[in-house]
Amino acid sequence: MLTFVKFGGSVITDKQGHEAPDAPLIARLAAEVAAARHIQPELQLILSHGSGSFGHVYAARYGIHKGLPASSNWIGFARTADAAARLNRIVVAALLACDVPTLTLQPSASALAQNGILQHWETATLTHALTQRLVPLVYGDVAFDSAQGSAIISTEQLLAYLCQQPALQPQRIVLVGEAAVYTADPRREPQAAPIAQINVSNIEAVLHGSGGSHGVDVTGGMHNKITLMWSLVQRLPQLEVVLIGPQPGLLTQALSGHVPSFGTIIRR
């Protein structure tokens, strides 16, 4: 079973800080991935992570997501890519320390966008990595954009693009970030309740109640995330999307095929 996993940038870093990784949490998530692979040796994984307080800070500072004209000083584009890669090295080091055979594939090496939407990305190497029992790791990154010069390609966009490839369509996507989707923003409305399942009967209400992101985020926050994941579930009938928090044991549960003890499931 092919499963995509995303470690949210707001989980593995302090998004209100500056290049502030949560090293102990990253190490624990890596250990949970290793445990799931031990339980299910046949499990195929594509891992990914957001940029958190690394790439998002530079992207916002230089306006990379809004586009850069050819006459601009592109140092901000380079600094954003470098920051995202720095966080990636921290994540891959934690996974390798747990003997997860992780291979980083830098999206900006081949990703091309138009008006901020990913149009082309070479995925042949990623497919070959899976056949060798490696675990590919991708991350939110910069991209050249034919319409606006530059763009930020979110991790969710990358996963959505992979879902369009017939040989890479997953049965499950696990997003490690917010503990669940809520009826309203629980930070502002304490009475907000978690939503156990999102389907056709409540998707409109969920989207109405979903908010943005806390901290610096140039990729749209929770509303955009749910919208994109719902579109994938509509396109791939077998797909199940699981949103969980970073609490101990939840990631191993989700990767082992169990319904997590707390979280939100999106399915048709």
3-state secondary structure 143-170: EEECCCEEEEECHHHHHHHHHCCHHHCC
Q: Look at residue 216 and tell me whether its pLDDT is greater than 70.
A: no
Residue 36 pLDDT grade (very low, low, confident, very high; cuts 50, 70, 90): very high
Q: What mean pLDDT do residues 151-174 have?
A: 95
Q: Look at residue 134 and tell me whether its pLDDT is greater than 70.
A: yes
Task: Report the percent of the chain where pLDDT is more than 90.
Answer: 75
Residue 220 pLDDT grade (very low, low, confident, very high; cuts 50, 70, 90): low
- DSSP class of residue 21 equals B
Task: Report the percent of the chain where pLDDT is more than 70.
Answer: 96
Q: What mean pLDDT do residues 122-140 have?
A: 97
| Stated pTM of the model | 0.91
Specify burial of residue 111 (Cβ count, 10 A radius: 0-12, 13-18, 19+). buried
Q: What mean pLDDT do residues 56-83 have?
A: 93
Mean pLDDT (the chain, rounded):
92
Q: Look at residue 25 and tell me whether its pLDDT is greater than 90.
A: yes
Cα Rg of the chain, angstroms: 17
Residue at token pair 């156990």? 196
Q: Look at residue 219 and tell me whether its pLDDT is greater than 90.
A: no
Least confident of 2-11, 27-36, 175-184: 175-184
Q: Look at residue 2 and tell me whether its pLDDT is greater than 80.
A: yes
Positive or negative, the CA dihedral 102, 134, 79, 176 is negative
Q: Which domains does the chain have, with CATH numbers?
A: 2-266 (3.40.1160.10)
Nearest in space to 244 (alpha carbons), one of 219, 267, 261, 224 = 261
Quick one: pLDDT at residue 132?
96
Distances (CA, A) of 98 to 93, 150, 202, 257: 9, 36, 40, 21
Quick one: pLDDT at residue 142?
97
Q: Look at residue 212 and tell me whether its pLDDT is greater than 80.
A: no
Q: What mean pLDDT do residues 234-258 have?
A: 93
